[in-house]
A and B are shown apart, each in its own frame.
Chain A
């Protein structure tokens, strides 16, 4: 007798709720500790800040129960605790800088968190199926490249600390590269899912590598030139590395050809070397990285050196929240929030943050493995890898692994564009993970139907 049982996987929404509450408790406690350390008392509005954050992320949780029951249960709590920790750190720096309510960056960051979370909810509500996004492949390409190149436009482009990756409209400033990251991942996914067959055609074999045909090199050369353009004209190694790395990684996932990675790495190395020999501002960045304590670099290397002093003073366990001097590092709330965390929470705290990022990326890649359609796989992989690359570029820059760039740590750092983009990324990953874990419609039977099947 054949017995057909429908295995309905658990939605894990209650796990998510428990983790979310824990994330909120962590953030609210950190906020209270900062108040105790800096002002000697638990801030009176701690329940307001904790409650506000709780209300926002619980709204996402409710939307997930309604629209994406099978979504991954770990991503939202990770985004919550990182966003919360960032808010606490920014508030802590506000206190050190004696900012009042009207100049408070934490308040603005909280508003941006609300906007970002609202965008995430909108994505979850309006994008019922991620495959629908494939229709916008070329729209995304145009919009993505436009956003990427927007800072080069005279008039609205702004150069901030040597990197021209900002635009300004009146008092509002925006890093369009953050949104471009999502659009280009969308475009790469849509393009590669159709072009993968031709790109993975066997070409000549040289030194054990399957080399592609010459005419198939077109797309990677375009991406390479675009990323070089970013490096040279926006003088930001981070943004450049992020886009080219994203493209090469997605190309590799799509074609399963190692040769693309080798070609990509060689092209990038050659391009970076060329930019270094030709452009003074690139040389400055590299000089700061290689010889930070050289007297010639005193002025330019000031910020990273202060950041390292902060990290060193934090040591293994940190000074404790509110008890270090992260305010001595210029732009500690944005570029160097990682240094502020390392100083006050120590190497242990920094490791915890890195592990959180790692788990978020791993959940994204697992989603890519689990989802059944090629577009979804590529999009999830691209978004997840973009987070990994960005964390690598930011933390690597702060800890002197690579030259410093103008990118900021996802969810932690002060900045509206970054926060909104990252919440959208998490919403997209949640959406894809829902379809990855959702049992196929045909098998989802009600218990009555199951009974009938069994009876038959």
Chain B
């Protein structure tokens, strides 16, 4: 039987050789193809364990990677967690997800961006451990902190822009969350925290400043009516407008009333400038109907309504609805009906007026530096759109100064600084406390900051709440933080 036994050993040798072959094929010959296949989670995990670049703003560190004694090697942490949560987002190995700047700037943070190609080559040659680049944001930590404090425990959002460049100086959304709870490597804890945040009816994960369910802009939309009116050439700031206490709406039983159901001026008339100053609903309802849907829609689009935007976070486009009737148009003209806007959009309106009618593209990334501190890329301010002529912008600036000096927005006054602004008080549902809006820029003669504030549920003032009472002081605090007064 020994002959067959020897041949059997030969068969075994052939079987094992086949295994050597198939193992070599998988682990060597086709390894690169398998590694590159879409859906191969390992390639992603490999990136998780690379030292990720930090996210910084001014001298504040918003997100850093610290060495961790586990398979991911680095733990992402957010030293001031909730304050910047909606800007940084989170980078979570446990949830296999990244949001906010962690997602938008991922190629830089991981070091795989094209601009970092030569850096990677040199890392490879010198055997240096590859590290991601650091991303410096445009956020002004003082303004961010001021906005955070001023908003207090209210639900809402604040956005501040540099009107001359479009740099975003503050972006706060409340309620917020602690990204550290999601970034933890303890998978069970991260999943628990994520489920709790998803289930929270206050929707803390929404970035209300640029996305979320959006808000009716209320009377702040009257800035767009005014811009359309002045741009049409048919109106000047002192043009008289019909302004009864209650405006009957054509082909409808509904009416559009002023807040106090009183006329806005003698003889049921008011000038355009005064209508804006005291936020006269009936005057703007009328103005909207006489300007027509197209004029208002076009003006809104020039400020950015309906246009997709990446800052590089994705901004939900604000929208001006399809108008079916004059009644709807009158409602839309005062920022009700189905008009929806993000606080960023309303800040862009103020910024455009402040910047002589030119809206700058908003952006969050100031510059990117490689791990050896070479600047890899830096922001290059670009024009987003020209919304109005410099003359219209100048007229509107004067009118908005009136709002703050002696109109609905007096609580935004800053001693020694000219502030231009517009209040808004938007109804979300009948009987519920309204949304309080305020959008403004300062100083009026040399604008350094444009801001938009929205506070939900009337900021605790109940149905009597108004943008002037609730949102204007918050806007003032943020502007003061930027201009240092």
Pick from A216-224, A227-235, A390-398 the stretch touching chain B. Answer: A390-398
Contacting pair A392 B15 (CB below 8 A): yes
Interface residue B2 (Cβ < 8 Å from any Cβ of A):
yes
Contacting pair B26 A312 (CB below 8 A): yes
B23 cross-chain contacts in A, Cβ below 8 A: 311, 342, 347, 350-351, 354, 395, 399
A328 cross-chain contacts in B, Cβ below 8 A: 41-42, 45
Closest residue of chain A to B9 (Cβ to Cβ) is A365
Bound CA–CA A293/B26 (angstroms): 15
Taking A96-B71, A347-B24, A347-B27 as contacts, is the C-beta distance between A253 and B15 under 8 angstroms?
A: no
A38 cross-chain contacts in B, Cβ below 8 A: 70-71
A400 cross-chain contacts in B, Cβ below 8 A: 22, 26
Contacting pair A249 B8 (CB below 8 A): yes
Interface residue A107 (Cβ < 8 Å from any Cβ of B):
no
Bound CA–CA A96/B70 (angstroms): 9
Q: Tell me the smallest distance from the CB of A351 to a CB of chain B, in Å.
A: 7
Contacting pair A392 B1 (CB below 8 A): no
List which B1-19 residues lie within 8 A (CB) of chain A: 1-6, 8-9, 11-13, 15-16, 18-19
Taking A347-B28, A358-B16 as contacts, is the C-beta distance between A368 and B5 under 8 angstroms?
A: yes
Bound CA–CA A425/B278 (angstroms): 95
Contacting pair A381 B41 (CB below 8 A): no
Number of interface residues of B (CB under 8 A): 42
B8 cross-chain contacts in A, Cβ below 8 A: 249, 252-253, 365, 381, 385
Bound CA–CA A350/B23 (angstroms): 8
Contacting pair A388 B26 (CB below 8 A): no
Interface residue B254 (Cβ < 8 Å from any Cβ of A):
no
Taking A325-B42, A354-B20 as contacts, is the C-beta distance between A311 and B15 under 8 angstroms?
A: no
Bound CA–CA A400/B30 (angstroms): 12
Q: Tell me the smallest distance from the CB of B71 to a CB of chain A, in Å.
A: 6
Q: Tell me the smallest distance from the CB of A437 to a CB of chain B, in Å.
A: 16
A392 cross-chain contacts in B, Cβ below 8 A: 15-16, 18-19
Taking A315-B28, A365-B8, A385-B8 as contacts, is the C-beta distance between A253 and B42 under 8 angstroms?
A: no
Q: Tell me the smallest distance from the CB of A118 to a CB of chain B, in Å.
A: 30
Contacting pair A314 B5 (CB below 8 A): no
Contact of B12 among A351, A361, A369, A374 (CB under 8 A): A361
Bound CA–CA A346/B32 (angstroms): 14
A346 cross-chain contacts in B, Cβ below 8 A: 27
B71 cross-chain contacts in A, Cβ below 8 A: 38, 96, 322-323, 325
Bound CA–CA A39/B71 (angstroms): 9
Contacting pair B12 A365 (CB below 8 A): yes
Interface residue B25 (Cβ < 8 Å from any Cβ of A):
yes
B32 cross-chain contacts in A, Cβ below 8 A: 312
Closest residue of chain B to A249 (Cβ to Cβ) is B8
A391 cross-chain contacts in B, Cβ below 8 A: 16, 19
B27 cross-chain contacts in A, Cβ below 8 A: 311-312, 314-316, 342, 346-347, 350
A316 cross-chain contacts in B, Cβ below 8 A: 27-28
Q: Tell me the smallest distance from the CB of B433 to a CB of chain A, in Å.
A: 46
Contacting pair B12 A358 (CB below 8 A): yes
Interface residue A401 (Cβ < 8 Å from any Cβ of B):
yes
A312 cross-chain contacts in B, Cβ below 8 A: 26-27, 30-35
Contacting pair A254 B34 (CB below 8 A): no
A388 cross-chain contacts in B, Cβ below 8 A: 12, 15-16
Pick from B6, B45, B71 the residue with the most CB of A within 10 Å: B71
Q: Tell me the smallest distance from the CB of B191 to a CB of chain A, in Å.
A: 13
Interface residue B40 (Cβ < 8 Å from any Cβ of A):
yes
Contact of B22 among A253, A256, A314, A401 (CB under 8 A): A401
Bound CA–CA A377/B6 (angstroms): 12
Interface residue B485 (Cβ < 8 Å from any Cβ of A):
no
Closest residue of chain B to A316 (Cβ to Cβ) is B28
Interface residue A440 (Cβ < 8 Å from any Cβ of B):
no
Contact with B along A48-60 (1 / 0, CB 8 A): 0000000000000
Q: Tell me the smallest distance from the CB of A78 to a CB of chain B, in Å.
A: 14
Interface residue B37 (Cβ < 8 Å from any Cβ of A):
yes
B19 cross-chain contacts in A, Cβ below 8 A: 354, 391-392, 395-396, 399, 401
Contacting pair A256 B16 (CB below 8 A): no
Taking A40-B69, A313-B42, A347-B23 as contacts, is the C-beta distance between A396 and B18 under 8 angstroms?
A: yes
Contact of B1 among A256, A322, A358, A362 (CB under 8 A): A256
B37 cross-chain contacts in A, Cβ below 8 A: 293, 309
A293 cross-chain contacts in B, Cβ below 8 A: 37
Closest residue of chain A to B67 (Cβ to Cβ) is A40
B35 cross-chain contacts in A, Cβ below 8 A: 309, 312-313
Closest residue of chain B to A298 (Cβ to Cβ) is B39
Contact with A along B470-483 (1 / 0, CB 8 A): 00000000000000
Interface residues in chain A, defined as those with a beta carbon under 8 Å from any beta carbon in chain B: 38-40, 96, 98, 249, 252-254, 256, 293, 308-316, 322-323, 325, 328, 342, 346-347, 350-351, 354, 357-358, 361-362, 365, 368-369, 374, 377-378, 381, 385, 388-389, 391-392, 395-396, 399-401
Q: Could you give 16 example pairs across A and B, Cβ below 8 Å?
A: A38-B71, A39-B70, A98-B187, A253-B8, A310-B42, A311-B23, A312-B35, A313-B43, A315-B28, A342-B23, A346-B27, A347-B27, A351-B23, A354-B16, A354-B20, A392-B19
Interface residues in chain B, defined as those with a beta carbon under 8 Å from any beta carbon in chain A: 1-6, 8-9, 11-13, 15-16, 18-28, 30-35, 37, 40-43, 45-46, 69-71, 187-188
The 9 closest A-B pairs by CB, nearest first: A312-B34, A40-B69, A399-B22, A312-B31, A401-B22, A347-B27, A392-B15, A253-B4, A388-B12
Known: A253-B1, A351-B23, A377-B5. 7 other contacts (CB 8 A): A253-B5, A256-B1, A313-B31, A313-B42, A316-B27, A350-B27, A395-B19
